Amino acid sequence: MAIRNELFKGTLQTIILNLLEENGRMYGYEITQKVKSVTQGELLLKEGALYPALHKLEAEGLLETMVEVVDNRVRKYYLLSEDGKTEVVNKLEEARAFINNLQLLLNLKPQLK
């Protein structure tokens, strides 16, 4: 069952920060494909949502960028800044607390501990 994108809009920044923490540096297309493969196609991160989120995180100083020429074209990589490394811990804790509360509210059996 495909998950509606509205459901993960609020956690998009957390997802991006967590992916960058795990993978070091990533470029836009790579992030969309990673989300697709990890969720086995259940979540499709659209570029129209991804890039504004990346730009916002960059403006907030949580991400740094670097460019590299790959196959004769410029590729922009995103990576966590020092502030981003701290923020990802807070965001993950916040997301876990939210999921726990959501499980209580929806009377779901805890599956992950």
Chain residues that interact with other proteins, rule: CB under 8 A:
27-30, 32-33, 46-48, 51-52, 55-56, 58-59, 61, 67, 69-76
- Find the shortest distance in angstroms from Cβ 91 to other proteins: 19
What is the rounded CA–CA span in Å between residue 41 and residue 39? Answer: 5
Which one, 8 or 27, has the nearer CB to other proteins? 27
Which one, 25 or 75, has the nearer CB to other proteins? 75
Four-CA torsion 87, 92, 97, 101, nearest 10 degrees: 120
